[in-house]
Amino acid sequence: MKYFYILLVMIVFLFSGRVGAQQVAMNNEKERPSGNVYSEIDRVSSLLISDPQNEKLLSERSLMYAKIGEYEKALSDIDQGLSSHPESYRLYYTKTLILLRRQHTKSALEAIEKAVELEANENNLYLRATVYASLGETREAILDINSILALNPRCDYCYLQKALWCSD
């Protein structure tokens, strides 16, 4: 039952993280026309021609590549972004999501550790807690949840997650 909840939280978090990255990359407040992932990849690729080191666009395209299972291209975009923006916690966060989809949990932990080192915000700490929990390191996961609660005492989902991990 413990692994079911961890898996459920990871799935929810992965899908919510992908939407957030797409929203960050939007240049204007108009909604984008709906289309398939391949047309979106083409759209972002055309924008990258004029700005090949744009970290938001590289992150967005890498998530789209991951969505269609092209993980090598996704990680290539992240590595390209990190070569020009080594202090971008957003790129490390996205790299963590991609590595989790590939089930490379230990590598994902390394990436999210770097993201937290650069920016210890609520999203980074929660993703690291989720990675810790998936590795069976519940104590470390709860410590990250406690750090989030220190930043944001009104984080309702943190109390729920902490209760779930403490009950196991």
What does the pLDDT profile of the chain (168 residues) look like in tens digits? Answer: 666 566 555 665 555 554 444 444 444 444 444 459 999 999 999 999 999 999 999 999 999 999 999 999 999 999 999 999 999 999 999 999 999 999 999 999 999 999 999 999 999 999 999 999 999 999 999 999 999 999 999 999 999 999 999 886
pTM of the model: 0.76
Residue 149 corresponds to which amino acid?
Answer: L
Helices 71-84/55-67 angle, 10° precision: 170
Distance CA 154, CA 31 (A): 31
Distance CA 128, CA 50 (A): 34
Residue 23 corresponds to which amino acid?
Answer: Q
Distance CA 137, CA 130 (A): 10
**What pLDDT is stored for residue 17 in this prediction?**
53
The DSSP annotation for 62-110 comes to: HHHHHHTT-HHHHHHHHHHHHHH-TT-HHHHHHHHHHHHHTT-HHHHHH
Distance CA 123, CA 97 (A): 12
Please state which CATH class domain 2-26+34-167 belongs to.
mainly alpha
**What pLDDT is stored for residue 166 in this prediction?**
87
